[in-house]
Structure formats: structure tokens, C-alpha cells
Structure 1
């Protein structure tokens, strides 16, 4: 990725050092604000500034389900580590204003905070060869802008991936969407079949219809946690029908018609809600057999009548 990063940072540091030598007390604070460019993702921005994705999210009050868009302004966490004198990596170019020309009209006051904006003004050639993708059929109301936000990517990446010269897409078109910036559960959400969604809702209904709503989401989350865990089968159907794992399969309640709450809980679990904080097992202490085995697991939380463990 090429980015032209224009900064006052070095000049400000010179002024800061000079101010400390002469006056000792006056200081000023520099805040970096990065402008999101085409092709940017949080993980790439974090790598560029030597911080973590979670630190960027925290500094900008971004939730885990919130996407960044081209043109967004992101505050760079204060612990950034940007060495302008290191060898240029990832084809990133840093250009500083010089005091004798562009900045000759600027004056910096002490005891103030300055915001330095970092923007990318260059058109980049986008390499999509490394991207993992899924096939998606355009539905009513779809547009590239919303799809780019949902898949944490940019419109230009979608155009390059699908050989599009403009943003026009038509109902029923099949396009490729990148999944590199999605979590494993987000990938499941976008690839689950209608049959598997129905099966997940039936399992939730059979196991937890008497539980509070959050307890029903928790049961769905356990199923999905197993799907993305290499220790278990890698599809929702195979996880649910794994022998001797879920009582509704054994007693036939898996065939009951789910209610709206079960469908809602299944959808919430697929969107990433996990009240169990990563549990792969659950049991009811009043009815479960082989409780000695569950006691060998790490208990995480109890929700309603179910104890969740990993």
C-alpha cells in the first residue's frame, strides 16, 4: 500500500525540545488523526502505527461490529510507534513539511494540543490476488457501499475483485466478496444455508425454550464456538448431530417447530453475540448425567439453569 503521509510531528518535536531548553515548563501535545483511504482495514492501520486493533477501537469508541469507511477520521492511540527514519516498509512513503518553505507561516503555541491529520491522496493499485472470498447473489436493496461496510472493505476492492468499472450491480448478479477482514463467526453468518439456520433455531428451541433470551443466545453461541474449534466438526449440521452431544437430537425435540425467540437468538449468535465468552459446553446441574466430567472443565458462567464451560 502506498500512502503519502504529511505530518508536522518532527517540527513540533523540535519546537518542544527548544521550548524545554529555554523555558523548561511550556509543552504541547500532538494528536494524530488518520483519514481512512480506499483499501484500508483496521488491522493494516494498526500495523502501520505499531498499535493494536483493540487500541484503535477504544480510542475511537468503535464497537466490535462497527465498520470503518473511506473518509472516516481515526484518532491514533497515544502509544503509536512510527519511526520516520526506519527503512520504508510496505511501500509506505512519509513526507514531512519543511519549516523553511511550506510551514514558514505557521507558529506553534506552548501548552496547547495540536491535531495532525494524515491523509492518503494517491490512487493505489489494488492487489486482490491474496483475498479469500465467498460467492454472493445480489438481493433487493443491495449496493456496493453497504456491502463494503458489511465486509469491512472498500468499494474499490469490490470493483477490483469483480472486474467492475462502475458501482452498478443488478438483482441476481453473483459477485465475490472478501472475507479476510471478517471473524470466523461473521464468515458463518454470511455463508450459513437456510437449512442450517433452521437447524440451529431448532436446537436452541429444543435445549433452551424455557430459558431467558440471553440463555437461548448462549446455547446458539456454544454450537458456533464448536464449529470454529478444530476439535469439533466444522459445520453446524455435523456439530449438532455429533453423537451423544445434544439431548434434543436423542429425544426427538430437534424436530419441534421453533418460535420467534429461537430464531431471534440464532440470528444474534450468528452476528457474534456470545454471553458464554467462548464456551464449548453447557449442562443443567439438576438433570445432567456424568456431572463429574463437567467438573473437569473450566466453568465460565451460569445463565438460567445452564452452566457454561470450556
Structure 2
């Protein structure tokens, strides 16, 4: 019994401290486990879409639905409930993995990774649509947008995950995705088809979780990276380009790994003149349930750029955006 007393003494203050964190400190959502953050500005509000981690002890990932939150101050987050469940894609079997929502044509489009049923085995990307950012979202196509057989280069069945969608200044919408290999394609004007070839743009150490954004004339591809000879947990790295199809120039690591988490997933947004990067770690404890591989928690940090348009390294903190932004 004595061997457990020091551990209990250490855990109790940590849990108490987590409950006393001010609104807006990390993790930003504390009543449930969330992962794979995808921020977007809609109608003057900052919306955040996440996966919902429900893994029991010893489980890897148990994810059945996608959640939505919104804020106007990055301190108080309004919960809008589950916006869609994996079963709402009739052709999908399980795994409500990473998703992103964008607005176009007066509607809201959700692109999400799921496990396809036995007719097209492997991970796939579906698209859903809603008339409001809080949903409800419904399958917009009745079939997967991207399936495993469309990217035959990969050797594993989970290659087609983690979609990121981005609409350029000329109105063209691009979708990028992948695990180990990163792909990009132009979306059709209908938002439910691929218009043109699928192009591989894999940057160094790419693992998964790509995120596309643009600032000025520079395109950014930020992603979960894993330099396997050096690290056992994912970091965040990024590349820049003059066009979504490249050529992409590797710019190095942007953040270290998330506390307690093998995975990490970036989401970047500008809101009211400032830039933010959303991530996840496994530092949250809810009651007696500690963070784990399948129990992650979304965080947010200030993001800054140098005079050349390169992103400054980000240090993950407990204070998050409650700390002053960098000058």
C-alpha cells in the first residue's frame, strides 16, 4: 500500500489544479475528451469542430461522433452537441476520425475520415452538408468521396484519413489528406466530387493530419510529423509553397509533441486580426479518467509569423491564449 501513496499525492493536486484553470486555459474543453481540432470563422464567431474520444482503459480509439463548439472570445466555448454520427454515413462501418468544416454556396460542408464497409475496405473520406454550422449534417453524396483504392501507392488501409479543405482567393476549393503519403486534389463546384487528378505532395517526415491555409501570397501545409529515427511521438511540422500543388519547401518543426499523446493534429485560423493554432494532447483528467492515447484534449496557442512569412516556433503551455500574444 505504501508504494501507491506518493502517486496519489501527486495526482490529487494535479486534478485540483486542472479544475481551477481559468476559462480559455488549456485544455479548452474539460467536460469530455476531444481530438483533431478544426477551427473556422463563420458569421463573426469562431467555430471549432472536434472528434469525441470515448476509449475505455486499454483501448486505442473509440470515436462515434463529431462535436461542435463556438466562441467570440476564445475563453467561453458554447457546446452545440454532436453534429453527426458515423452511422449517418450509411456506407461507413465505424471510426468518426478527423473532420473539417468549411462554408461555401451558403451551406456548410463537413469532410470526415471513417472506416468504409466491406464493399470498399479501408479508410475513406465522406462529405456531409448542413444549412447551419451547428447542423444537423447529412450525407451529401450517398457514397464516399475518396476511397482506399483511389490512392494505391500506400501499403496500409488507413492511408486516406484526415481531410483538410481550403478555398482559395479565386474560389477554387482544395482537399488534402493522408497518412504516410499526403495527397491533394481540386474539389468540384458541387463540393461532392474530385475535379482533376490526385497529386502526391508528401513533405519530409509527414505522418498525418495535414492542414492547409494561406496568408498573403504564401500557402502553408502544416501536419503531424514523425521522424522515426529520432522521436516516438508526433510533432507538428510545416512546409510553404507558391501554389497548392507546390513546389513545397520544408520549413521544419513548428511544435513539439503533445503532453502524454503519441498523436497531434494542427488546426490554424485567423480570428479578429490574430492567428491561432489548435492542437491536442492527453493531459486532461475527468473524474478518475486520465488522458490516454484514445482520450485526448484540445488546446490552443497564439501563432505568430516573422518578417518573411514563416511561422515562429510554438511552445505548448497550460496558459494558452490567456497569456499575452507574442509581439
TM-score between both structures, scaled by the size of structure 1? 0.23
TM-score between both structures, scaled by the size of structure 2? 0.22
Rg comparison, structure with higher value: 1
Higher strand fraction (1 or 2)? 2
Higher helix fraction (1 or 2)? 1
